[in-house]
Amino acid sequence: MSPSVVASCASCATLDWSNSHPHLTAMHRLIATLLTLLVTTSFAAPEVRPLPEIRTLGIGPCMDAAVSGDSLVVIGSGKLHTFDLTDPTQPRHLGSLDGLGNTRQIVVRDDIAYISSREYGVYLVSIADRAHPQLLNHYDSIELATGLALAGDVLFVACRQYGVEFVDVSDPRQPRHLSTVLTGEAQSVTYHDGYLYAGVWASSEIVTVDARDARAPKIVSKTPLDGYGDGVEVRDGILYAATGHHSRLPHAEEEEPGYGTGHGLEMFDLTDPANPQFLGRIKFPPFYTIGNDMWSVSVINGHAFVADTHNGIFVVDVRDPRHPALVASHQLPSPPRRDIPGYYGGIAVGQGCIYGAGGWTDLHVLEEPHWAQPVISDTGSPPHIGPEQPFTDPHVAAAYHPPGQVHGVTMIAGDTLAAAACGSAGVHLLRLGDSSIEPVSIIPTEDFATDVYARDHTLYVCEGVGGLSIWKIQADGKATRQGSYTAPNARVRYVVVPEPGNLALIEVNAGELHIVDVTDPAAPRRLLKESWLGLFYGDQLLDAIVDGRYAAAFWHASGLHWYDLTTQPPQHEGVHPEGRFGIFDGLLLHEERLLAIRRGGWVWFDRNEARPFDELPVQRVPDLYLSGRPTLSNHVLYLTHRAYSQVTILDVRDWSAPTKLDQYSINGNPGTLVPTPHGPLLPAGYSGLLLLKMASPGGSKQAAP
């Protein structure tokens, strides 16, 4: 049965009303968008030609695949596999490489595989010798590395909440950070002829970026999608966008635009590449489950090959992009002990076949002789990489620029010696002055140094797969290793060691909490390991013990969790107040009360607060939206927003009437600020470690409410 198609008016079908008339009111825009949806949407029929499965490759769960010449390269479960494609339907295994973390997407060019790996960053692997892949570099991306695209010497890394990072890979053994563009929650990206297109998730849109200058990318347009955005590809002047989850429209009938609850494929004309114009869409069956939410598309010979996770793989005839038609599909069966179909993380198109990466299963080879052919990337003119500009910032008294990115900083038993977690450059011990930061010594780390925490002369270092190392630091900067805690097959990322200093709370991977007894630094002992719904984006641990016994951590999707540390082992005590935190907000303890940054302001509460967050009164600052990780020092409240590159400074001597001292953007990704007698010390990602100029409040102190 062929897909049913809504009858359309030709003049309406070619017009994206919502973009063409900026003077329309919001209601007019909504009506125009609905009309456009009604006349340009095709709907997938339930009966289509099945894609026969030829075989699986026996390598276990996979997340993505790429065809490069006569080779197939597959990633999954932290591994890379290479296959010979002399017979495309019977790939022959050649070699593999392990230790690649939480693998997500892959692109291959010139015998180099570029692999995104979520909280593990990006791996660059030489496959020149297919039988013996070799790691060239492990790159420390600014956030969870998810989507990838490559053009010229620039690698584009979709980093979810932090937008898209531009990386110079002219020397693949030494990638260099160039810039970041804040697109929103970028899942996947594609580049063509000077423009980058990002499939953005929760805001359901394509964000178009002028990427001709790789050091100064600029957003030029935002184009709405019906579902959450992800996979994108440009082919022959048309932009294709694979979508899923959460339609903008409430309809659920098969012949209505909202059918599919967001799942589908949308097409846009790129006559003006800076302003994609809607052409048409096709909807796939509705499906929703929490956990696997990636959708990708490849286009060749007038057909789009779409991986739609649990919905399966769809082949869509897009020769008339205003009236796409579904021609073939394949859905995985439900695996043992699961009540939903298996899912596809990604696909690659081969000669007469499709390679589907089964996230729970294997690499599946599907027969598709009609349209299948390897996709050759067409990126057009590559971006230009201009000279690096000298660092200047009027808010900065001194700056320190190590080779890696600075994730975190701490002061060591005094007012002059600091330790900075410098990513791939390890931990740097530094001497502070009123307008100076001078290097003292370096502690090498096994993996990226992503956080440091000092208690007296003891330094705790998060070094990824190297675990949590513990050091004794002397006044002259000499470091002596005391011991370490390792989390098998996992990365240790952030840590606090609140008073009295016998327990460390550790963020592991992107969502595990470990509570570790560090009383004996030579033999740390894990007391508790657990995870809840949501992610750790970093610095989501309360740096204090409340009521002498309770620790706290917040997951972005399930709220504020409390732990009783007086039990053996520590026990989960509850989630309260109920409600979510913003992923870039935080909390602190002040005068026996807790302050949480929420909804553009802050709320005060006690640990046993029974009301949900949404019922607590919000303190706001006029004409100022507050967001970021809070630090309080001498009646000054600092908020640092790592994704938005923003610093906010407030005078809170009178908590009932706070005033703005300053708010500004910096070049970099600011982590949690640390007060020092010489000024606030700010880890700023690839912009280094910054000693900010001192902020001075006025007026008299008023107690917290």
pLDDT digits (tens, 9 = 90+) for 522-555: 999 999 999 999 999 889 999 999 999 999 999 9
| Each residue's pLDDT tens digit, 366-406 | 999 988 999 998 899 999 999 998 888 999 999 999 999 99
Q: What's the pLDDT at 32?
A: 39
| Each residue's pLDDT tens digit, 63-80 | 999 999 999 999 999 999
If you average pLDDT over residues 692-699, what whole number do you get? Answer: 74
| Each residue's pLDDT tens digit, 634-681 | 999 999 999 999 999 999 999 999 999 999 999 899 999 999 999 999
Query: Do residues 227 and 292 make contact, with C-beta atoms less than 8 angstroms apart?
Result: no
Q: What's the pLDDT at 7?
A: 26
Q: Which residues contact 327 (CB under 8 A, 6 or more apart)?
A: 48, 49, 303, 315, 316, 317, 370
Q: What's the pLDDT at 638?
A: 97
Omega into 569 within 30° of 0, i.e. cis? yes
DSSP string, 304-328: EEEE-BTT-EEEEE-SSTTS-EEEE
If you average pLDDT over residues 338-346, what whole number do you get? Answer: 95
Which residues in 335-345 are b (16+ Cβ under 10 Å) and which e?
Answer: eeeeeebbbbb
* Residue 286 pLDDT exceeds 50: yes
d(CA 141, CA 139): 6
Q: What's the pLDDT at 22?
A: 35
Domain residue limits, the chain: 4-60+159-367, 396-450+532-692
Q: Between these two residues, 33 and 128, which has the higher pLDDT value?
A: 128
Q: What's the pLDDT at 41?
A: 52
Q: Between these two residues, 45 and 151, which has the higher pLDDT value?
A: 151
Work out the pLDDT band at 13, boundaries 50, 70, 90.
Answer: very low
Work out the pLDDT band at 291, boundaries 50, 70, 90.
Answer: confident
Beta strands of 534-680 (E only): which ranges? 550-555, 559-564, 571-575, 587-590, 593-598, 601-605, 629-633, 636-641, 646-651, 659-665
- CATH code of 4-60+159-367, in short, is 2.40.128.630
Q: What's the pLDDT at 251?
A: 58
Give percent of the chain above pLDDT 70. Answer: 90
If you average pLDDT over residues 440-454, what whole number do you get? Answer: 97
Calculate the dihedral angle through the C-alpha atoms of 80, 85, 88, 92, rounding to the nearest 10 degrees.
-70
What is the fold of 396-450+532-692?
Neuraminidase (2.120.10)
Q: Which residues contact 415 (CB under 8 A, 6 or more apart)?
A: 432, 676, 677, 678
* Residue 608 pLDDT exceeds 50: yes
Q: Which residues contact 673 (CB under 8 A, 6 or more apart)?
A: 629, 631, 638, 640, 647, 680, 681, 682, 692
Alpha-carbon separation of residue 433 from 395, 473, 687 (angstroms): 16, 19, 19
Q: What's the pLDDT at 416?
A: 93
Q: What's the pLDDT at 16?
A: 33
Query: Do residues 67 and 127 make contact, with C-beta atoms less than 8 angstroms apart?
Result: no
Q: Between these two residues, 430 and 700, which has the higher pLDDT value?
A: 430
Mean pLDDT over all residues of the chain? 90
* Residue 61 pLDDT exceeds 70: yes
Q: How many CA atoms lie within 13 A of 494 on its CB side?
A: 20
Q: What's the pLDDT at 389?
A: 87
Work out the pLDDT band at 705, boundaries 50, 70, 90.
Answer: low
